[in-house]
Amino acid sequence: MLRTSINMRIAVFIKIGFAAARLGKTHREVVVMLLARIREDIEHFPGGFTLVRYQPRDPLKLWHCFPITFRKNENELVSDFRRLGRFSVSSLVAIATERYLEELLQDGTIRHNYVEFPHYAIGKRIENGILCWELYWGDPDDTPKGRIQRRTSSH
């Protein structure tokens, strides 16, 4: 498991704490559930060729540094969010908290016993002399034109 930290506004941390208590989950599990939910709408967060976008500055400096561990495939997915969406992980957690936390709470605890991330794979193929890297959020077989370079399991 990879250890890292997420800087979040104290208000976001409190909301996540409230959700964790209500769902009977840890803060980490709620953060992972929020990231799993934002994955469904990642096309709404285009990155382009730009710098990574961070959360807006807080003049009062009311931040909480939240240590978190990610499993291999959770880390790969979060890294893709950063690479493709060009948002910091802390920014994505803040966005997901604002947009999806109520939805998570309304769904009840049954749906959230375990957030299952899909298998994760990276493939490589050559198309007309161009090297193409492919990211799979699922478990693909080797493609006719390419080859899977690396996989993670869902657990």
In this prediction, residue 36 carries a pLDDT of 85
- Hunting for tokens 């400096």 — which residue is that? 61
Look up the pTM and report it: 0.76
**Does the structure show a pLDDT above 90 at 98?**
yes
pLDDT tens-place string over residues 11-35: 999 999 999 999 999 999 999 999 9
Which of 133, 6, 155 lies closest to 80, judged by CA?
Answer: 133
Contact between 50 and 86 under an 8 Å Cβ cutoff? The reply is yes
